[in-house]
Structure 1
Amino acid sequence: MASRRITQETFDTVVQENMIEFEMEPEEALSEAIQQFESQGVDLINVVKVVQNRAAEASNQKHNVLQALEALQKALDLLALDEMGDHLTNFTEQCSLNFAHRHLAAEKSAYPTVLATCRQLMSDPPSLLKGVQALSALLDGQPDLLDPEGQRLLLEILKHHRDHTALNVTAIRAVRHSCLKHEQNRQELVQGGVLALLTGAIVNHGAQADVVKEAGSALRVMTYDDDIRVPFGRAHDHAKLIVMEHDGLRIVIEAAKAFTDNPSVLSELCCTLSRLAVRNEFCQDIVDLGGLNFMVALLADCIDHRELVKQVLGAFRAIAGNDEVKDAIINAGGTDLIVLAMNRHMGSPQICEQGCAALGMFALRKPENCSVIMEGGGALMALQAMKTHPAEVHVQKQACMLLRNLVARNPAFSQLILEMGAEMLILQAKTTHQDCEDLAKAALRDLGCKVELHELWTGQKGGISH
């Protein structure tokens, strides 16, 4: 896997050498440079891959993103507030092209420049909006840039401009960009009160799809544990704070009811609910607040919308961690809808995975639910998913788990499932995917099939034996 990096200057120099010394055309010189570095194991994700023509090179002309940054810096130095807006818009457009442009700008001190510009524009919301858009674009993929001053700025904007829809959307997006894969930013922003501001934005702008969608997504990011640099995050604690101190479940569910005709917003909010269902009582709260009935109706009405179906199934899977909620979903007709959704979207490995996982949760420790799932065609649909997606390890694992749970306390179902061709498909999953081996063996064992089980430890001195 590529891991080495080079500077923008090194890359540009090689492209120019190809053009001058080897007389290549610009596009050929660019392609040759890319191929040369990639063959050496260099990761070019941080490099702007465009040709600086000979005239530009001779006059030391900079890349467009750096020209935009330089113009912004000059306007800032002169406090030319009326000029800053256009320069910010140009800079944002350049940063939005790809990560390499953002990275190059950051290397040339774009962050303090943009931050200082935003400070100058605090009393002018339309211009400030352009500044925050530039800051959000710059932070995308570069959360390390945000410092305490930047955190204070974002929190201040959300507090003092809470009625400004566009500013809320953009500031919340900047918060989200700064918290992805960055535990320290998450914790410090939470300590600064960002959770109240995010839930408050959903309440204050309940009819504005952009605000609700962005705030729901940002709340979800606060529950992530995706920063590999820290051994332990506070994802669970943040989820509890959102629910217990900021009434997050009710706010999200009520917000969803205002967007029954907007699958994009509903997908975000269902996904956020899944991240908040971290305790047994929270799962029950979602039912008590009307969230389950809403999602069941949503699945029935929007069953053709693939992304929304996936998120609703994921939410069912999450709240089914509560045994009483499992029964509630079954009684609400959830099984039939899941089977119908899987059949409708059999080509989607994500829906097959989430569908099998949800049914597997319903079946766990619930023999009576297993009967409903079998009668509804759940086992047959799981096996069809295994046939359709043999290369998708997550589909195979969740299907094996479902089949095992169906027969663990209902051995009478074993023969029916085997007659559907389960043994061959499970053996194929076991052979194809090493990560699926343990689950496949457990499913085969509980189905009554012959399976070779290795005793990993015999209890005797001498360590693990195979």
Structure 2
Amino acid sequence: MRTVPKSYYKHFSNSEQIDFQKQSSLITLPQPRAHPFVPKDHPFFVRTDLTAHEMGPPKTVRTISQEAFDEVVKENMEDLGMEPTEALQDAIQTLSLQGVDLSGIVKCVPGESSLKDNPLIQSLERLKQLDLNSKDKFSDEDLNEMMGLFDKLIELCGGNEGSVNAAVATKNGGVELVCSICYKMRCGSKRVLDSCLKTMALLVHDVQSTETFRTGGGPKLLVNILIDGNEDPEILNSGFAVVAASATGNEVVKESYMELKIDELILEILSRQRNDSIQSLYDAIRVLLTPDDDQVVASQVYGYARRFAKIGIARALVHSLHAGLSSPSLISASIALKAVAVNDEICKSVAENGGIDALLRCIDDSGLQGNKTVARICCSLLSKV
């Protein structure tokens, strides 16, 4: 094991962090009154009015470029006389001990494979060519080829090594590329757009990728796609899967969707007779109302839940429960309703709209059918309302 030469540190960078100063309205805690018996200069005085920024910035992550990583492996072979496989493993271990995040790095054994041989990179590069060659729309021939390329990306990013491949795709501009193609596909082939959205849902897998999605105008683009395709269950299902993925762990993305009035769009879709095929819609509700961003102190999701209930989403979700065990969305709707029911007023409205009666019937029926999953989910919701 060795230390990375200082010349390589120029390749390291800190991952993009959310600017807490710009979000002070989100995360500043209310100013408490000073305790009358403990002066501020007393050693036991503890400040409780710290903002998230004052509490300390989030941990930074050191990263390295693909080129710099390959150089470290090459140096192991040329300067230290290591075999290719040994050189690769040593580079991985050494950089990991240095605290370098290697996610998104393609780890190739020199002489046996290269970055260009990676099928994921090949698919991305071909999509980039098609995107650059097109102006405002794609030809039918391009669309057919893109369909196959997206299917390949879905296979690679959704399999056993899906998270690893998704990180590689993100590091190589996958999120920006898919956003660009989605923009051009809004009025194009719905089949290709559906595959494009499914790919996007796999690529936005962490804070860095969701931030890339946000800064590239992803939320607005996605909401427009959902509005345009609000009669197409497949587009809606794939689109709301992207909503759920991109809003997970990112408070700012949640806020972006709420500013775009996604709650009104959700209500419009829920108000239709049949929504069983749009399972991701319920996942999106749950994620939007879950305070899962550890980079902020005070989440706004409680206010979002009240807003959801005020416009009628709670009532619409209760209506979904009345179908009972025959509805494939029963579990998802129950989990979503639990996320909406954040105070006594909302819980009371759930009961007044027959929610408790519907839950009791579901629990009885699940007992008769031996469906423990439904029984557990319904009991959990019942205990909350």
Q: Same fold (TM over 0.5)?
A: yes
Structure 1 residues 90-239: aligned runs within 5 Å: 90-96=152-158, 97-123=161-187, 124-141=189-206, 142-147=209-214, 149-204=217-272, 206-211=273-278, 213-239=279-305
Residue type at the aligned position of 2:156: Q
Structure 2 CA distance for partners of 1:313 and 1:55, relative to 1, 3 Å: same
- In the alignment, what sits opposite 2:345? 281
Instruction: Look at both structures and tell me which one has the larger radius of gyration over its CA atoms.
Output: 1
The CA deviation at 1:136 is 1.9
Report whether the alignment pairs 1:310 with 2:337: no
Structure 2 CA distance for partners of 1:202 and 1:54, relative to 1, 3 Å: farther
CA distance in 1, matches of 2:77, 2:237: 45
- Aligned 8 A contact 1:249 1:273 in 2: yes
Residue type at the aligned position of 1:187: E
- Aligned 8 A contact 2:325 2:365 in 1: no
- In the alignment, what sits opposite 1:89? 151
Residue type at the aligned position of 2:113: A
The CA deviation at 1:172 is 0.5
Cα deviations by residue, 1:119-178 (Å, 9 ceiling, x for unpaired): 222222122112222222221323112236322211111111111111000111111111
- Aligned 8 A contact 1:158 1:168 in 2: yes
- Aligned 8 A contact 1:271 1:311 in 2: yes
The CA deviation at 1:42 is 4.2
SS in 2 for 1:54: coil
- Please report the RMSD computed on the Cα atoms of aligned residues, expressed in angstroms: 3.0
Structure 2 CA distance for partners of 1:19 and 1:103, relative to 1, 3 Å: same
Structure 2 CA distance for partners of 1:51 and 1:231, relative to 1, 3 Å: same
Q: Percent identity?
A: 19
Report whether the alignment pairs 1:63 with 2:104: no
CA distance in 2, matches of 1:286, 1:37: 54
Q: Normalization by structure 2: what TM-score?
A: 0.71
Which of the two has greater helix per residue? 1
- In the alignment, what sits opposite 2:128? 73
Structure 2 CA distance for partners of 1:19 and 1:301, relative to 1, 3 Å: farther
The CA deviation at 1:30 is 6.2
CA distance in 2, matches of 1:188, 1:63: 35
CA distance in 1, matches of 2:197, 2:372: 33
The CA deviation at 1:216 is 1.3
CA distance in 2, matches of 1:3, 1:150: 24
Residue type at the aligned position of 2:120: V
SS in 1 for 2:166: helix
Higher RCO, 1 vs 2 (CA within 8 Å, ≥6 residues apart): 2
CA distance in 2, matches of 1:109, 1:258: 44
- Aligned 8 A contact 1:45 1:99 in 2: no
Structure 2 CA distance for partners of 1:55 and 1:163, relative to 1, 3 Å: same
- Aligned 8 A contact 1:2 1:41 in 2: no
- Aligned 8 A contact 1:295 1:312 in 2: yes
Structure 2 CA distance for partners of 1:53 and 1:311, relative to 1, 3 Å: farther
SS in 2 for 1:260: helix
Number of matched pairs: 310
The CA deviation at 1:105 is 2.1
Structure 2 CA distance for partners of 1:251 and 1:61, relative to 1, 3 Å: same
- Aligned 8 A contact 1:45 1:100 in 2: no
CA distance in 1, matches of 2:73, 2:384: 51
Task: Could you tell me which runs of 5 or more consecutive residues in structure 1 were left unpaired when the two chains were aligned.
Answer: 320-466
Report whether the alignment pairs 1:241 with 2:307: yes
- In the alignment, what sits opposite 2:321? 256
CA distance in 2, matches of 1:140, 1:122: 23
Residue type at the aligned position of 2:269: A
- Aligned 8 A contact 1:12 1:52 in 2: no
Q: Normalization by structure 1: what TM-score?
A: 0.59
Structure 2 CA distance for partners of 1:77 and 1:257, relative to 1, 3 Å: same
Task: Could you tell me which runs of 5 or more consecutive residues in structure 2 were left unpaired when the two chains were aligned.
Answer: 1-58
175-184 vs 62-71, greater mean Cα deviation: 62-71
- Aligned 8 A contact 2:176 2:213 in 1: no
- Aligned 8 A contact 1:217 1:272 in 2: yes
CA distance in 2, matches of 1:302, 1:44: 46
